[in-house]
Structure 1
Amino acid sequence: MRNIPVSKVFGSAVMMFLIMIFLTGCATSDRTGKYPPPKFKKELDSLKSNTITQKSTRYTIKKGDTIWRIANNHGVLPDEIIKANNIKNVENIKPGQQLIIPRGVTVSSDAPERMAPVYNRNLNESFQWPIRGKILFGFDKWIDGYMNKGIDIEAVNGQPVKASKSGVVALTSDTPDGWGKVVVLQHDDGSYTWYAYNSRILVKKGEYVIQGQTITEAGGTGRAKQDKLHFKIFLSGVPVNPISHLR
């Protein structure tokens, strides 16, 4: 799959597919790998006036905030905030907690859409199951003292995990004591999908993938006690029940 020079567009700009993600633009039946490359618009110059500093700044977490929403509002990548603050579990952030925001870029409320890479979008593309298997743990269920903000799907080690939607690889990471090998996709409509506990990552940050493309192999890395896939969907920076959106 052809790598898209996303880094030139993102820089200190907002990710929008993610996830990844990271989103759509190809028909679900298209598996040829000939997906037309994303087209970017030169719209960053008009946002220069929104930049207040190129140094790190601090942000106090508010109720309802997520790492993705905070990153989006400050024009940085989620993994930059995660690394700068040594965050082990992104779901454990609390209101009142202070975060270091690398580079400290603040953008206006209408900037995320304008700063994002602009693709030829097919916003009708729905989320597809990344893997088929028994649901081990559902959304909003307690697991080992944590509220599950995704679903855990039973898998076989090495089982192919597919991109739920077309988009850009916004993040890959490996945390042995946490989510294990993780891929996050940013999609063209601003949504994100998260794939954790993988045994192997097959894509690179900045790569554009199409819906149904194999992006990882399932496994039991991190704190997983068995082979499975932990899958999340984020809409407007908020985790939602994947079951309500998967087709």
Structure 2
Amino acid sequence: MPGRPARSLFFLLGPALLSACVAPRNGPPEPAAPPPRPQPTVPVETPPVATPPPFDIKAVTPNAVESRSGTYRVVAGDTLRRVSDKTGAGSEAIARANDLTAPFVIKVGERLKIPAGRWHQVRGGETGIAIARAYGVEWQRIAELNALEEPYILRTGQRLLLPSATEVAGMSMEERAAAFDLEIDDLITGGEPALAEKEVPAKPVSTAPRTKPLPPTEAVAAARPFSGRFDWPVMGAIKRGFGNFGSGRRNNGINIAAEKGEPVAAAADGVVAYAGTDLSAYGGLILIRHSDTWTTAYGHASELLVTRGQAVKRGQTIARAGATGHVDSPQLHFEIRQGAKPVDPLAYLPKRR
């Protein structure tokens, strides 16, 4: 149809032509509004890179068996471990049920009480954390059921009492999710790989910086001897003290203000039991064992300068302070633990002048 292209072009160009004709007579067009300014963002510090911990190396295959409550008559050749294998119950639990003490001597003809329960038999290299995750329960619940004590080293063939199938079936979704959340006491009590029955933990390696980490198949030995004295890891102001705060929250250590990159010192001689970033709340985290009883923790580091199994000296720089984890300014989260129990560091650190 003649003429349609021209009309179409007019309708397309018309509004633009008209707008060009109605510009203000008293001056040039007003300048366009500037683009919106970008809003400032809070920088998020990236946690330091660390080697995989033992509980992420050895996969655990569930092998739980049930034992029935009853008695067992000891026969020639029996040991407590052999009775455990025959009945399915843990040897440590059998010893507790019968008031046996080390070296756990049993006699032919003796009748032993056998506790009922659901038991996992530990395999070489397994950690408590990995065992708990294989069954979908919290490691601290297993540690409590088995009355575990320092130095928290599992042994190949050992049987661990698990929560009952009924208890596990009754767990809520929140409780199941919590089984995979880690805390510092989990690392202390369930972070080391199981050893053979008479195998000893590895001795600390060199104090030199950047020492190669101890293989994840070897357990860390506690440092000896330990003087029982701690020094300040940094000297900033206390941002948050030990104990409860807010609505139902608790600080298991103290938070000390620090400059970004400031050296963090070991509070006492010891051996590094953990150096990594697996606990998101703490960012870069180091745990140092000072004996079978005492452990210190150092969190929110921007750089880790020591490795698992490395010996350290009091005052040695082990990390650089930062703001990794759930904090918004550079600081050090510092804990002192007696066993797995946190204590107020201010009661053990020198008084400031």
TM-score of the pair, normalised by structure 1: 0.58
Secondary structure in 1 matching 2:346: helix
Q: Alpha carbon RMSD of aligned pairs, Å?
A: 4.1
* Cα contact 1:149–1:240 (8 A) shared by 2: yes
What one-letter code is carried by the residue in structure 1 that aligns with 2:181? I
What one-letter code is carried by the residue in structure 1 that aligns with 2:301? N
- In the alignment, the residues of structure 1 paired with residue 344 and residue 229 of structure 2 have an alpha-carbon distance, to the nearest angstrom, of 14
What one-letter code is carried by the residue in structure 2 that aligns with 1:87? D
Cα–Cα, structure 1 residues 177 and 101, in superposed 2: closer, same or farther, change >3 Å? closer
Counterpart for residue 75 of structure 1: 154
- In the alignment, the residues of structure 1 paired with residue 232 and residue 271 of structure 2 have an alpha-carbon distance, to the nearest angstrom, of 18
Match of residue 161, structure 1, among 264, 269, 279: 264
Secondary structure in 2 matching 1:131: coil
Which structure has the bigger radius of gyration? 2
Describe the superposition over 1:100-141 as per-residue Cα deviations: whole angstroms up to 9, x where unpaired. Answer: 99977899xxx99xx9847652x3340100010100000003
Counterpart for residue 53 of structure 1: 122
Cα–Cα, structure 1 residues 132 and 88, in superposed 2: closer, same or farther, change >3 Å? same
Tell me if 1:135 matches 2:238.
yes
Alignment gaps of 5+ in structure 1: 1-6, 8-47, 77-84, 93-99
Q: How many residues align?
A: 178
* Cα contact 2:284–2:301 (8 A) shared by 1: yes
Q: Which has the higher helix share?
A: 2
Counterpart for residue 333 of structure 2: 230
Cα–Cα, structure 1 residues 90 and 161, in superposed 2: closer, same or farther, change >3 Å? closer
Secondary structure in 2 matching 1:165: coil
Cα–Cα, structure 1 residues 175 and 104, in superposed 2: closer, same or farther, change >3 Å? closer
| Identity across the alignment (%) | 27
Deviating above 6 A after TM superposition, structure 1's stretches of 4 or more consecutive aligned residues are 48-51, 100-107
Counterpart for residue 302 of structure 2: 199
Structure possessing the higher relative contact order (Cα contacts under 8 Å, 6 or more residues apart) = 1
Tell me if 1:239 matches 2:316.
no
* Cα contact 1:158–1:217 (8 A) shared by 2: yes
TM-score of the pair, normalised by structure 2: 0.42
Alignment gaps of 5+ in structure 2: 1-53, 55-80, 83-90, 93-120, 156-178, 202-218
Cα–Cα, structure 1 residues 221 and 117, in superposed 2: closer, same or farther, change >3 Å? closer
* Cα contact 2:183–2:279 (8 A) shared by 1: no
